[in-house]
């Protein structure tokens, strides 16, 4: 008997056998179709929705967003549990199928990004569960012949006087009633689960190997073959020809086929695929990037800024013209240039996907942040109606924006079609690193005027670098365009849209966060597009992950130039009271001194230690961080990070703290270690040994404080990333007097 690494869970969608009656409750504002929940007999209540309650008392919930470690599986279930007065672990959770029902309303397409899950669903899901509660109690009042106000729902029971009745006893009656659609929500002082510390409901399945990740599902599809794709040695190389005769002679190797992105090898087992790779002789045609070197990026970007004024992204007052205005001539002037490189995502689970084409039907098993992109892209590729393609979403071993891209899913579909076999495509770590949608590099030139009292009067920023949207549009457009639009038209629109972004209109993610937190009387931000042709994509924090470093390092320089304490200078110039509050809290918790170091540190001693601060608002969430850093013999050591976050009401405090800790560690990797090195058009690194991320011994003590709030929740998954690089860099300056203006932060290099 073959023992697989993980056993398969019994799918709880086969619910019809469990009961002949159920209550299905709609989410307010959604034309919901819970396809992931089986429909029951005609005796069941058939109003469509995300929540189903059976006569057995079982509660089922279709999760509209995707779980990649960020905790949304637990977070959104907590909202349902709260209004149903039920423990979250008693709710059966199902990943949503692809359907307009589950559209992310903030983006008009189905997907998980932008730290939007809790923000989008906080009220709608609570209202749906409250309506279910009220409908059940309405049914119970009929059956028990008593007033609705004499009843309560708690822990799966209807409570009446001293008696408790199983909730399921009233489901058949509830299913026949007109559902309540405006039930009152619980008040904050009634919360039993929201805001409370609790164990994540997906942890047990993950630590016992029961959770389904895409890479684990290979034994579930009969005759499944494994595959990988060899991509060109340089970024834009194309396949010319190949000789696979030696590889095909190996046991288990069945096919070697060309696909648009490279050469696919297919075998019964993955190790056989890997053994075949070195036996294949391949000729590649090098593209125009064969002479590109990432080390020259700062020079190229600087030259681009000298040649073009760029597109105006924002202007207030006189903008940059105020720098030369007579009114401000006597004020302190400062300018600085900052740079950040290409970055990869490096998710723990490499890209993988299963595609099975069978009788004009196609099934996809994958963990993806963009299920609608994937389903529609595969349907177009295979020339199938969209309803003939079924995507089964899974847990993801990290996303960080990489799994918005669906390139590897389309590759699997190409291979399955050409070989007429069910295919599990698995990229190696090297292929994953070499074929990413990279975080774009950027260079910004800041100028500012500060008066003698330490007030910022003029701010000008000119940014140069690639944009993201032109690389996302080809996959995004099929998700929002009607099915009847031909794929050729969609591709043409994507190309034209990319041209508009690059030449005439600013992309928000390229300039977000560069100025908003301070916003002086005169402010101007301009963007110049420079794109060498290396594809870019969303990376945790997106534009804020760069602007947090750029803006907060420049503000720190202005503080020292004005002879102000860095915290005091920020408090004086921040326009956002929420940012001021988290900054003051962080300073208090970190024991920020009146001067973290001399305002003009000149020490050259071997070991120095100091604090550095940064504050940033992204995705409506305010975060302040203070890093305690020492420099010992040119080695940077981060001892601790104090983090304060204001994200509205804290649904799951433990999840929020975990997200801040993870974001800080993720951001520290970019701050101190990571960059994609491109030499003659080839990615120079292959794995974690030469693309290092933070390791456990390097991880500092992280203290997270959540601002108590009753305001609606805001984003959590990404806002912890933007401040950390600047906080560390500012601490290095306070300790050593050396200002580092490029990432990663190295003491022997700066822009």
What is the rounded (10 degree) CA torsion for 150, 151, 154, 158?
Answer: 140
Whether 562 and 515 map to the same domain: the answer is yes
Pairing between strand 456-465 and 442-450? antiparallel
Is residue 499 included in any domain, yes or no? no
Whether 199 and 229 map to the same domain: the answer is no
- Residue 66 · residue 396 · CB < 8 Å: yes
Is residue 162 included in any domain, yes or no? yes
Whether 262 and 365 map to the same domain: the answer is yes
Q: 601 exposed, middle or buried (CB, 10 Å; 0-12, 13-18, 19+)?
A: middle
b/e per residue 680-713 (b: at least 16 CB within 10 A): ebbbebeeeeebbbbeeebebebbbbbbebeeeb
Whether 201 and 322 map to the same domain: the answer is no
pLDDT band at 594 (very low <50, low <70, confident <90, very high): low
Domain limit, last residue, from 411, 434, 457: 434
Q: What is the DSSP string of 711-733?
A: SPP---SSTTSTTHHHHHHHHHH
Report how far Cα 453 is from the mean position of its chain's Cα atoms: 41
Strand partners of residue 314? 525
pLDDT at 361: 97
pLDDT band at 220 (very low <50, low <70, confident <90, very high): confident
CA–CA dist 623, 642 (Å, integer): 10
CATH assignment at residue 75 = 3.30.365.10
Does 142 have pLDDT greater than 80? yes
Lowest mean pLDDT among 18-22, 97-101, 363-367, 397-401: 18-22
Mean pLDDT of 725-735: 98
Is residue 153 included in any domain, yes or no? yes
Domain limit, last residue, from 155, 179, 207: 207
Does 51 have pLDDT greater than 60? yes
Mean pLDDT of 13-21: 38
Whether 55 and 177 map to the same domain: the answer is yes
pLDDT band at 38 (very low <50, low <70, confident <90, very high): low
Domain limit, last residue, from 191, 207, 223: 207
Does 47 have pLDDT greater than 70? no
The stretches of 145-256 forming alpha helices (DSSP H) are 171-176, 203-207, 245-248
pLDDT band at 628 (very low <50, low <70, confident <90, very high): very high
Could you give the number of structural domains in the chain?
3
Is residue 410 included in any domain, yes or no? yes
Whether 553 and 701 map to the same domain: the answer is yes
Whether 415 and 463 map to the same domain: the answer is no
Does 31 have pLDDT greater than 90? no
Whether 188 and 307 map to the same domain: the answer is no
pLDDT at 42: 37
Whether 164 and 280 map to the same domain: the answer is no
Task: Quote the mean pLDDT of the chain.
Answer: 91
pLDDT at 748: 80
pLDDT at 749: 64
What is the rounded (10 degree) CA torsion for 391, 393, 394, 395?
Answer: 150
Is residue 485 included in any domain, yes or no? no
Is residue 718 included in any domain, yes or no? yes
Does 37 have pLDDT greater than 80? no
Lowest mean pLDDT among 80-94, 245-259, 483-497: 483-497
293 HSE (CA, 13 A, CB side): 6
Range of the domain at 113: 22-207
pLDDT at 715: 97
Nearest to 644 by CA among 626, 629, 658, 662: 626
Q: What is the DSSP string of 596-617?
A: SS-SS-----SEEEEEEEEEEE
pLDDT tens digits, 310-363: 999 999 999 999 999 999 998 999 999 999 999 999 999 999 999 999 989 999
- Residue 511 · residue 313 · CB < 8 Å: yes
Whether 370 and 230 map to the same domain: the answer is yes
Nearest to 671 by CA among 715, 627, 728, 616: 728
Mean pLDDT of 508-533: 97
Whether 711 and 659 map to the same domain: the answer is yes
Does 168 have pLDDT greater than 60? yes
> Residue 235 is encoded by which pair of tokens?
């970024």
pLDDT band at 487 (very low <50, low <70, confident <90, very high): confident
pLDDT band at 8 (very low <50, low <70, confident <90, very high): very low
Is residue 479 included in any domain, yes or no? no
pLDDT tens digits, 183-213: 999 999 999 999 999 999 999 999 999 999 9
Does 39 have pLDDT greater than 60? no
Is residue 145 included in any domain, yes or no? yes
Could you identify the residue written with the tokens 């290092």? 692
* Phi, psi for residue 261 in degrees, rounded to 5: -100, -5
Whether 255 and 377 map to the same domain: the answer is yes
């Amino acid at each position: 008997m073959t023992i697989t690494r993980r056993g398969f869970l019994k799918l709880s969608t086969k619910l019809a056998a469990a009961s002949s009656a159920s209550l299905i409750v709609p989410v307010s504002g959604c034309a919901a179709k819970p396809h992931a929940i089986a429909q029951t007999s005609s005796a069941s209540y058939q109003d469509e929705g995300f929540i189903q309650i059976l006569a057995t008392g079982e509660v089922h919930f279709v999760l509209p967003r995707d779980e990649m470690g960020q905790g949304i599986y637990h977070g959104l279930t907590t909202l349902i549990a709260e209004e149903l007065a039920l423990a979250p672990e008693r709710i059966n959770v199902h990943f949503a199928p692809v359907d307009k029902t589950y559209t992310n309303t903030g983006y008009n397409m189905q997907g998980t990004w932008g730290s939007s899950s809790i923000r989008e669903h906080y009220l709608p899901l609570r209202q749906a569960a409250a309506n279910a509660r009220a409908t059940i109690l309405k049914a119970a009042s009929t059956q028990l012949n008593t007033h609705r106000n004499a009843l309560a729902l708690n822990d799966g029971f209807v409570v009446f006087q001293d008696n408790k009745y199983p909730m399921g006893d009233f489901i058949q009656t509830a299913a026949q009633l007109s559902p309540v659609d405006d039930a009152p929500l619980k008040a904050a002082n009634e919360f039993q689960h929201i805001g409370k510390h609790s164990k994540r409901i997906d942890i047990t399945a993950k630590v016992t190997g029961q959770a389904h990740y895409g890479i684990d599902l290979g034994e579930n599809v009969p005759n499944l073959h494994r595959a990988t794709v060899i991509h060109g040695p340089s970024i834009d190389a194309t396949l010319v020809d190949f000789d696979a005769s030696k590889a095909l002679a190996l046991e288990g190797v069945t096919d070697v086929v060309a696909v648009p992105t490279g050469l696919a090898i297919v075998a019964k087992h993955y190790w056989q695929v890997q053994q075949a790779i070195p036996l294949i002789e391949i000729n590649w045609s090098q593209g125009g990037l064969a002479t590109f070197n990432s080390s020259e990026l700062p020079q190229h970007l600087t030259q681009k800024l000298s040649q073009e004024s760029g597109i105006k992204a924002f202007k207030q007052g006189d903008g940059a013209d105020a720098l030369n205005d007579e009114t401000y001539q006597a004020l302190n002037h400062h300018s600085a240039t900052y740079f950040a490189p290409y970055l990869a995502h490096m998710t723990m689970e490499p890209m993988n996907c299963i595609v099975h084409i069978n009788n004009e039907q196609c099934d996809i098993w994958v963990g993806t942040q963009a299920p609608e992109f994937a389903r529609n892209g595969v349907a177009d590729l295979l020339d199938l109606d969209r309803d003939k393609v079924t995507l089964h979403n899974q847990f993801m071993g990290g996303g960080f924006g990489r799994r918005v891209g669906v390139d590897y899913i389309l590759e699997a579909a190409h291979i399955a079609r050409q070989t007429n076999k069910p295919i599990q495509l698995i990229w190696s770590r090297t292929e994953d690193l070499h074929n990413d949608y990279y975080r774009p590099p950027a260079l910004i030139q800041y100028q500012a005027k500060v008066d003698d009292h330490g007030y910022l009067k003029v701010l000008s920023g000119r940014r140069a670098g690639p944009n993201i949207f032109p690389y996302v549009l080809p996959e995004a457009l099929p998700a929002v365009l009607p099915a009847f639009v031909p794929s050729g038209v969609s591709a043409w629109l994507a190309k034209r849209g990319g041209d508009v972004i690059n030449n005439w209109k600013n992309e928000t993610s390229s300039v977000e966060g560069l100025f908003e937190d301070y916003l002086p009387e005169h402010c101007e931000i301009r963007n110049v597009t420079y794109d060498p042709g290396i594809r870019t994509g969303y990376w945790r924090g997106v534009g804020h992950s760069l602007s947090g470093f750029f803006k907060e390092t420049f503000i720190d320089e202005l503080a020292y130039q004005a002879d102000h304490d860095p915290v005091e200078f920020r408090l004086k110039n921040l326009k956002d009271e929420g940012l001021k509050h988290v900054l003051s809290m962080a300073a208090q918790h970190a024991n920020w001194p009146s001067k973290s170091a001399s305002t003009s540190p000149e020490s050259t001693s071997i070991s120095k230690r100091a604090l550095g601060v940064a504050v940033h608002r992204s995705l409506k969430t305010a975060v302040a961080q203070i890093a305690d850093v020492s420099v010992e013999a040119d080695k940077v050591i981060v001892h601790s990070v104090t983090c304060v976050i204001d994200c509205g009401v804290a649904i799951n405090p433990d999840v929020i703290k975990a997200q801040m800790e993870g974001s800080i560690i993720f951001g520290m990797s970019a701050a101190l270690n990571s960059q994609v090195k491109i030499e003659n058009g080839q990615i120079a690194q292959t794995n974690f040994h030469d693309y290092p991320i933070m390791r456990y011994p390097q991880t500092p003590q992280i203290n997270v404080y959540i601002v108590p709030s009753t305001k609606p929740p805001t984003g959590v998954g990404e806002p912890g990333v933007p401040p950390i690089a600047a906080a560390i860099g500012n601490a290095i300056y306070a300790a050593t007097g050396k200002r580092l203006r490029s990432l990663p932060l190295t003491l022997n290099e700066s822009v």
